Amino acid sequence: MARTAAISLSVQLDDSNVPTAIAWSADDAGFAGERPCVAMNLTMWDAEQKLLSAIGLWTKDTRLADMYAYLGQTLGQLADTCRRAAGDDALADRILACADEVAARASTIAPAEFERSETGSSEAMSHESNCKNHKREPISR
């Protein structure tokens, strides 16, 4: 039987429109009410226009250590989606290599740098990644 399930996001913003709190809920989440989080990515693929729409948010007090863990796990989840949806093990392995690069980068940062300032600066996260230099290959099925 077909049904509709809802996913909901709420974002609290400060006077400069910087997120101070993010929460989410879903009909099938396995818990009641909203659950807080400190970072999120929401991406939607428009098959007709062949365009990705994306929202990436993190709260201004997100610890850098949490951001690196989040980025690495996001890449791991993307690799899993690539493997399951496209059946492309080679590309999934390349995405996992990028996740490993994030983990390696995180391990080089001094513990004091893992705390963000109250301004939510992301300067420590703006390093160039070799992942962007990977040659793009078409997804094969």
Q: Name the residue with higher pLDDT: 106 or 131.
A: 106
Would you state the pLDDT for residue 28? 93
In one letter, which amino acid is 74?
T
How many H helices and E strands in the chain? 2, 5
Domain boundaries, the chain: 1-59, 61-141
The pLDDT assigned to 88 comes to 97
On whether the pTM is more than 0.75, the answer is no
pLDDT digits (tens, 9 = 90+) for 23-82: 999 999 999 999 999 999 999 999 999 999 999 999 999 998 889 999 999 999 999 999
Confidence of residue 113 (pLDDT cuts 50, 70, 90): low
115-140 pLDDT tens trace: 554 444 333 333 233 344 333 333 33
- CA torsion, ordered 125, 126, 127, 130, to nearest 10 deg: 100
Residues 6 or more apart in contact with residue 124 via CB below 8 angstroms: 64, 109, 113
Q: What is the pLDDT of residue 139?
A: 36
- For residues 59 and 71, what is the distance between their CA atoms, to the nearest angstrom? 14
Burial 56-67 (b: 16+ CB within 10 A, else e): ebbbbebebebb
Structure confidence at residue 90 (pLDDT): 98
Give CA angle at 41 (39, 47), nearest 5°.
175
